[in-house]
Amino acid sequence: MSSGSSPRTPRTHDQNPSYRALLLPDLKQMLETNNEQELAAFCAELHPVVIAEILEELDPPDVWKATRHSEIGRLVELFSELPLSLQEELVDIIERPRLAELIQHMASDDRIALLSRMDKDHVEALMPLIAQAERIDIRKQLEYPEGSAGALMTTEYASLPEDLTVRDALDRLRTMAPNSEIIYYIYIVDEQRRLDGLLSLRELILARPTARVADLMQRDVVSVRVTDDGEFAAQEIARFDFIALPVVDDQNRLVGIITHDDVIDILQKEATEDAYRQAAVEPIEDSYMETPMTTLWWKRSIWLGALFIAEVFTFSAMATYEHALDQIKVLAMFIPLCISTGGNSGSQAGTLIIRAMAMGDVKPGDWLRVLWHEIVMGIFLGLTLAAVGFLRAAMTPGKVLGDVDRWMFAGVIFQAVACICLWGTVVGAMLPLIFRRLGFDPGYASSPFVATFVDCTGIMIYLSIAEVWLL
């Protein structure tokens, strides 16, 4: 949850993203003259999201210069909306007492996201400057594994005991006056803070003031454990369309909540990671423009290198059929076509299944249905492409064909394309299911790897068929 996630809307109605282009020169002007009052006014005027989008365009020292005069509440809002990589750079610029104050006031999930990326020594140096209650909270939450519900949750939420009337409950809520929308679900806990029930603010508003919370509350509450995967928590929120989901420890004690806006972040991060795997890029943590060149080179070259080395086997596959390639020259001309047929049909089938698994439509137990489905599909797709291949092969110039029979050769291409397409489709569809069964992310079974495997086997299928008919 971000502290900027207040229900307030930006103080501008201008939805044209060019306001960034309009306001940035103003801001740069203020920075040059170092006009403290104007800068503070600028930072207070617009919605934190909008200001943060403008600040992103500046160098870290200028970001701090522009925001340092804001009052702490606004500073926290602005800081939390900045990209994590920029927050990390600012941490080295901001004087230590101010930084400690900032971290102390941040929403617990935003704070943990930053601290877990910071240098351990730096974090330890800050700790004595942070109030004890917050410090204990931070130490506890930093222990949860990265990406777990415990690491992603916010520890601010609205909770009440069950022995209250509706009127008392509303009065208590008013005195808590939580900072954000987390007031919309109220969690009912016992003396040990065990999660007993849930009441929405809507239900509370609509109930008689003398009704008892214990009689109104929903007793069976969907929750996740601190150790559960954050992605699972996100899926549960999406599944039930919740605004927030409670996080409990192993004794069912309420320790935090995950909110609807985190779901979007988690799901977008997942979608990006899937897309990267599909294109053989090791997931990068920051945005494309912010990632250092060397990191990007490393993350890209390891996969490209692995694929390249795998592809070297195509040479070995072809060397096995050297005799056929030597005797019938036209065979080499159709190798790229045969390779791409297998690669494309394989990556297509793979993506469909990976995506269907991500959406929960296909489970590993469905493998037999998927296999049958993809065999039928592979046959039909194969025949479709083979027909095109047959026509193209039949039009080969006589000079290139040499003494090979035109129709015999077209027949070989027909058979090869049909077989390779079927093979690619079945392999592409089955690999994600096998990967999941083996405990790997199915995304790793994605296009370039499927394609490389199918490339090699495709060459062998093609040249074997050619040997049978043409030698």
> In the complex, what is the shortest distance from the CB of residue 433 to a copy of itself, in angstroms, rounded to a whole number?
12
| CB atoms closer than 10 angstroms to residue 400 | 10
Name the segment binding a copy of itself (CB under 8 A); options: 11-19, 23-31, 97-105, 114-122.
11-19
For residues 145-172, b (16+ Cβ closer than 10 Å) or e, as one string? eeebbbbbbbbbbbbbebebbbebbbee
Q: Please say which residue, 12 or 29, places its beta carbon nearer to a copy of itself.
A: 12
Rounded Cα distance between 456 and 318, Å, is: 9
Spacing of C-alpha 336 from chain mean position: 34
Rounded Cα distance between 58 and 63, Å, is: 6
Size of the site for a copy of itself (CB under 8 A): 127
Q: Which string of x and - marks every residue 274-293 that binds a copy of itself (by CB under 8 A)? A: xxx-xxxx-----xxxx--x
Residue 203 interacts with a copy of itself (CB under 8 A): yes or no: yes
List residues bridging with 159 in a β-sheet: 187
> In the complex, what is the shortest distance from the CB of residue 263 to a copy of itself, in angstroms, rounded to a whole number?
6
Residue 373 interacts with a copy of itself (CB under 8 A): yes or no: yes
Residue 463 interacts with a copy of itself (CB under 8 A): yes or no: no
Which member of 70, 154, 447, 457 binds a copy of itself (CB under 8 A)?
Answer: 447
384-413 positions binding a copy of itself, by CB under 8 A: 384-385, 388-389, 392, 397, 400
Q: Please say which residue, 123 or 420, places its beta carbon nearer to a copy of itself.
A: 420
Residue 297 interacts with a copy of itself (CB under 8 A): yes or no: yes
Residue 22 interacts with a copy of itself (CB under 8 A): yes or no: no
56-85 positions binding a copy of itself, by CB under 8 A: none
Which member of 24, 129, 164, 335 binds a copy of itself (CB under 8 A)?
Answer: 335
217-256 positions binding a copy of itself, by CB under 8 A: 218, 220-224, 236, 238-243
Q: Which string of x and - marks every residue 120-149 that binds a copy of itself (by CB under 8 A)? A: ------------------------------
Name the segment binding a copy of itself (CB under 8 A); options: 102-110, 120-128, 362-370, 433-441.
362-370
Name the segment binding a copy of itself (CB under 8 A); options: 28-36, 100-108, 111-119, 336-344.
336-344
| CB atoms closer than 10 angstroms to residue 442 | 25
> In the complex, what is the shortest distance from the CB of residue 301 to a copy of itself, in angstroms, rounded to a whole number?
5
Residue 5 interacts with a copy of itself (CB under 8 A): yes or no: yes
Q: Please say which residue, 275 or 468, places its beta carbon nearer to a copy of itself.
A: 275
84-113 positions binding a copy of itself, by CB under 8 A: none
> In the complex, what is the shortest distance from the CB of residue 126 to a copy of itself, in angstroms, rounded to a whole number?
27
169-188 positions binding a copy of itself, by CB under 8 A: 170, 173-174, 177, 181, 183-185
User: How many helices (DSSP H) and strands (DSSP E) are in the chain?
Assistant: 24, 6
Q: Which string of x and - marks every residue 309-328 that binds a copy of itself (by CB under 8 A)? A: x-xx-xx--xx--x--xx--
Q: Please say which residue, 116 or 320, places its beta carbon nearer to a copy of itself.
A: 320
Strands, E assignment, 241-348: 244-248, 254-259
Q: Please say which residue, 319 or 471, places its beta carbon nearer to a copy of itself.
A: 319
> In the complex, what is the shortest distance from the CB of residue 387 to a copy of itself, in angstroms, rounded to a whole number?
10
Residue 342 interacts with a copy of itself (CB under 8 A): yes or no: no
Residue 369 interacts with a copy of itself (CB under 8 A): yes or no: yes
Which member of 65, 89, 355, 401 binds a copy of itself (CB under 8 A)?
Answer: 355
Q: Please say which residue, 35 or 179, places its beta carbon nearer to a copy of itself.
A: 179
36-55 positions binding a copy of itself, by CB under 8 A: 47, 49
Residue 8 interacts with a copy of itself (CB under 8 A): yes or no: yes
- Which residue's structure tokens are 């299944």? 353
Report the alpha-carbon angle 445-451-455, nearest 5.
140
Which member of 300, 371, 375, 444 binds a copy of itself (CB under 8 A)?
Answer: 300
